[in-house]
Amino acid sequence: MALKNALLVAGLMTISTSAFAETLVANIDFPFRAVGKTYPAAKYEVKIASTNGGGPIMTLSNGAGKVNHMFIAIPGDTNSGKAGQPQLVFACEPGGACTLAQVHTVMGSHWQVRQPKLTPAELERLAKVTVPLQVAKAN
């Protein structure tokens, strides 16, 4: 199933014309989850490529350039992102388990990342943690 989804996304990337692309870097010093997968603390590249079909295709890659995960984000609150202040926003539970919740880009776009279902009581206990993103240097 995962291979089938990866091939579908790769096909969509090939067919779609990119309207923009950004590569950003974050040093995340705690383990976290994103779209059902767990990641260790590390330096990550976040690549964002928009498509004609809607939300951008995002990839998380470790320092070795290996794509760890690919997912499609959905538009968030356009008023909450500020141009020039890119960041990752994590929703963290008491006890430290954090989940990637939002991506704010250099252009001020704000994208939501799919979250696990939580009860209202669980949502109330979440803390917001932000990690700054830097524009990746060209090789």
pLDDT in tens, 62-100: 866 666 778 778 877 655 545 668 899 999 988 878 999
pTM of the model: 0.75
SS3 at position 11: helix
pLDDT at 110 over 90: no
Q: Two tokens at 30?
A: 């705690």
H/E element, 128:
strand 127-132
